[in-house]
Amino acid sequence: MRILITGANGLLGYKLVQLLSQQADIKTIATARKTITQLPANVMFRELDITNGLQTVKVLDELKPDTVINTAAMTQVDQCESDREQCWKANVTGVENLVAACSKNNAHLVHVSTDFIFDGTHGPLTETAVPKPINYYGESKLAGEQAVEQSKSSWAILRTVLVYGVTPDMSRSNIVLWVKKSLEDGKTINVVNDQWRTPTLAEDLAMGCLLAAKKKASGIYHISGEEMMTPFDIAIGTADFFKLNKALINPTDSTKFKQPAARPLKTGFVIIKAKKELGYQPHSFQEGLAIMATQL
């Protein structure tokens, strides 16, 4: 089985490369806009910018993957709000290019989406919940989903929530690493306690992608952790685990933060479908922190 990963230089992409490279029956092809220097010896690399339609078709025509796992996206929510052209290009045009190339080559497409397609009025959410994004990032990711659903080839959409984890060269942080570093540096941090999520370990999301690829899953799946937590809960849990000073963590609410993009207050996912149909089993948040601790 030949699996091509887009965005292989991101957190999820990195975890996928590591996971797939350990599967004897899978030939892994890592792609990104820039060369990745450190890859497992059995992983092939190709430069690929999915916003370039001609290049996308050319790479898939040449490599003939059985499955494409699309982790490439513009995910900085506030930047998406201010730079809408680039956001749309990455999250919609790029997906349309992949859909066309997958359809041409009869490749199964596993596309990663987000809880930010929902308005945050309730949660946790099942796959049948009606999307209603409240920021431009969510709008673009919903449009990307709609492009996938129109594919002439087979597809699965995996939505996820607040991904955390570690890579050897972290170009971007995430909530757990931010809390850990801030407390280690003795900084006081304000963390919201009125937003609810089901935080997702990057290794778990990678496993969800692999399961969907192997089973050639069809349709929409919610892939996340199971515990409904606020960012404040996550911060306290991180401080406790790493034995840091949680007195530096101040609870606050969303009204105190002025951000360009609105955030949904309550999402989180019901993952019964993924458990039943894919065999997906996520780690608990405490288990996720323990896994991270071995990699730091």
Q: How does pLDDT run along the chain (296 residues), one tens digit per residue?
A: 999 999 999 999 999 999 999 999 999 999 999 999 889 999 999 999 999 999 999 999 999 999 999 999 999 999 999 999 999 999 999 999 999 999 999 999 999 999 999 999 999 999 999 999 999 999 999 999 999 999 999 999 999 999 999 998 776 789 999 999 999 999 999 999 999 999 999 999 999 999 999 999 999 999 999 999 999 999 999 999 999 999 999 999 999 988 999 999 999 999 999 999 999 999 999 999 999 999 99
Inside any domain, residue 154: yes
Inside any domain, residue 255: no
**Minimal CA–CA distance to 71: which of 102, 110, 26, 103?**
110
Domain of 7, CATH number, reads: 3.40.50.720
Domain limits for position 221: 2-166+198-227+268-286
- Domains contained in the chain, number: 1
Inside any domain, residue 214: yes
163 SS3 class: strand
Inside any domain, residue 32: yes
Inside any domain, residue 171: no
Question: How far is it, in rounded angstroms, from Cα 176 to Cα 100?
Answer: 37
Question: How far is it, in rounded angstroms, from Cα 179 to Cα 100?
Answer: 41
Q: What is the pLDDT of residue 257?
A: 84
Task: For residue 199, give the DSSP letter.
Answer: -
Task: For residue 106, give the DSSP letter.
Answer: T
Exposed, middle or buried: residue 178 (CB in 10 Å: 0-12, 13-18, 19+)?
middle
Task: For residue 8, give the DSSP letter.
Answer: T
The CB density around residue 264, as the number of other CB atoms within 10 Å, is: 23
Question: How far is it, in rounded angstroms, from Cα 76 to Cα 114?
Answer: 12
